[in-house]
Structure 1
Amino acid sequence: MKFNLLGPFEIITEDGRSYTPPTPKVCQVLALLLTRPKEIVPVDSFIEELWGDNPPRSSLTTLQTYIYHARKTLVTEALAGPEEKILLTRNPGYLIDLTGHRLDTREFEEMVKSGRRAADQGSLEAAARILGDALDMWSGPALANISTGRLLAGQRTYLEELRVRAVERRIETLKLLGNERDLIPELRALVQQYPLNEWFHAQLIESLSTCGRRAEALKAYRDLWRSLADELGIEPSPEVQRLHHEVLNPVTRSGRAA
């Protein structure tokens, strides 16, 4: 089996069939376990995730029912054999054993690490390819099709931060390879998706300027300035302001301002 969290939560069978448990709470239980593979998730964590600060008196019994249905689902949907132990009871909670199975979040993190190592070793083309393949694993926001409590919401934020950092590393690598012009469409999309991320804006401004599109670079800066002022009442960071100054006062090859 393969468990996917990077987008809609789904289980992919060995024959390629996609399955998502129809019960939202069972999905939450499985997703919480999958965010901590090979780790015992305490009962208290499940209760916090499922009911927050207002658990019912029957929360423990209800949780046990969800665990039962999760185990039953894995067998009845032919996701696991009747003798295969995947969802285990381990004091003080439960554990999911993925031995012999795949988890996309784990594969994503390993690929990002591999891409970073390749970049550190100077293999820039390999690094860009590996990071691109890792990002292609995403099919939408993490756990996009299920409701999340506090714990899963925190995991969703964590995964999104890993995704953003992987995008940043890939962009840095492609710029070192001299792909400034080819990056502009992607950077324009990123500043729309992350309007308050100054790093993405700075890369767009710099790439436009490097490609001789100073007017567009200055407009990109004004768009960022306006977004920050309207949303947060602040100005761009000193680093982005210095970049703006460099666009306004480009240095010629002789070292003098143009």
Structure 2
Amino acid sequence: MQVEIRVLGPLEVYVGGTSIVPSASKPSQLLAMLALNPGHPVSVRALTEEIWGCRPPRSGKPTLQTYILKLRRMLAHALAGTDGLCSKDVLVTRRPGYALAVDPDDVDAVRYDRLSAAGRRAAVDGDHEQAARLLTEALGLWRGQALADVPTGPLLGIEAVRLEETRLGDLHLRIEADLRLGRHHQVLGELAAVCARHPMLENFCAQHMVALYRCGRRGEALLAYRGLRATMIGQLGVEPSHRVWDLHQSILRGRVVPEDPSLAVSG
């Protein structure tokens, strides 16, 4: 049985090349909960809380069973012609709830977490080439915001935030690895876009300053700092951290050289 589950973007679940994602929002939430826990049961209580919050309707449990039945019907259609498998073999009833009996590697988020952890270990070990390669592969699994087209309740919302924060951290580490490998020209455009999307994230601004300085664009590096400072003061009433201020001062006074690895700041 060929299964492909993608949550790093719009929800996509294919069984034998056939999509089993329902068009209705609540069954999609249920499927997303199961997809993020491959091979492990998700309790009826957790599913109910995700779909209806802390005050589910009296009909919550039978309605949940109706959603399960709908998913199994879609699975049955996708499994038609598959020898020896039925929908209950894939979407199984297992105390205290339900589970998708699939290989965890069928889920892009599982593969992402594994590659992310390996890339971070390589970064800690100082293997910047390996870190850049692994983190590039990990980030390449993303197709947009996690669960972009699925309404998220309290549980899916937490997981979506975790994935997005991990993604930002991995992007920072991958760019740092590239900077340490002397690829400052290659990351300039990417950093400009990231800083435009996240104007108050100091780590990315610092990396942008580093890349600009190393490319001989000292004035623009200083302007990047001024933009960060103006935004932080205007929106938060605070100055940038001393770490970024120190980097600004070093660039301002010309006391560093473009190849200096200490410019590849990390948080």
Q: TM over 0.5: same fold? A: yes
| Deviation for aligned residue 1:51 | 0.9
Matched position secondary structure for 1:77: helix
- Structure 2 distance, partners of 1:90, 1:203, is 48
Residue type of the partner of 1:178? G
If the length of structure 2 is used for normalisation, what is the TM-score?
A: 0.86
Aligned 8 A contact 2:51 2:153 in 1? yes
* Cα 1:39–1:252 shift into 2, 3 Å: closer
Q: Deviations over 1:22-51 (max 9, x none)?
A: 121111001011222233222221111111
Matched position secondary structure for 2:93: strand
- Structure 2 distance, partners of 1:30, 1:176, is 42
Partner of 1:229: 233
Q: Deviations over 1:62-102 (max 9, x none)?
A: 11111111222111233874266122222222222213860
| Deviation for aligned residue 1:18 | 4.8
Identity %: 38
- Structure 2 distance, partners of 1:149, 1:67, is 18
* Cα 1:42–1:252 shift into 2, 3 Å: closer
Q: Deviations over 1:170-229 (max 9, x none)?
A: 112111111112211111111112222111011111221232211101111111112212
Partner of 1:256: none
- Structure 2 distance, partners of 1:13, 1:205, is 46
Residue type of the partner of 1:71? R
1:247 to 241, 244, 251: 251
Q: Which structure 2 residue ranges, 5 or more long, are not aligned?
A: 258-267
- Structure 2 distance, partners of 1:252, 1:37, is 50
1:150 to 140, 147, 154: 154
Aligned 8 A contact 2:75 2:87 in 1? no
1:202 to 193, 200, 206: 206
Higher mean C-alpha deviation, range 210-219 or range 151-160: 210-219
Residue type of the partner of 1:176? R
Q: How does 1:40-189 map to 2 (within 5 A)?
A: 40-78=41-79, 81-82=85-86, 85-99=89-103, 102-189=106-193
Aligned 8 A contact 2:73 2:87 in 1? no
* Cα 1:34–1:19 shift into 2, 3 Å: closer
| Deviation for aligned residue 1:122 | 4.9
* Cα 1:170–1:105 shift into 2, 3 Å: same
Partner of 1:3: 5
Residue type of the partner of 1:248? L
Matched position secondary structure for 1:199: helix
- Structure 1 distance, partners of 2:144, 2:113, is 17
Partner of 2:260: none
Aligned 8 A contact 2:5 2:12 in 1? yes
Matched position secondary structure for 1:231: helix
Matched position secondary structure for 1:144: coil
If the length of structure 1 is used for normalisation, what is the TM-score?
A: 0.89
- Structure 2 distance, partners of 1:96, 1:12, is 13
Superposition RMSD on alpha carbons, in Å? 2.1
Q: Does 2:31 align with 1:30?
A: yes
- Structure 2 distance, partners of 1:206, 1:189, is 15
Q: Which structure 1 residue ranges, 5 or more long, are not aligned?
A: 254-258
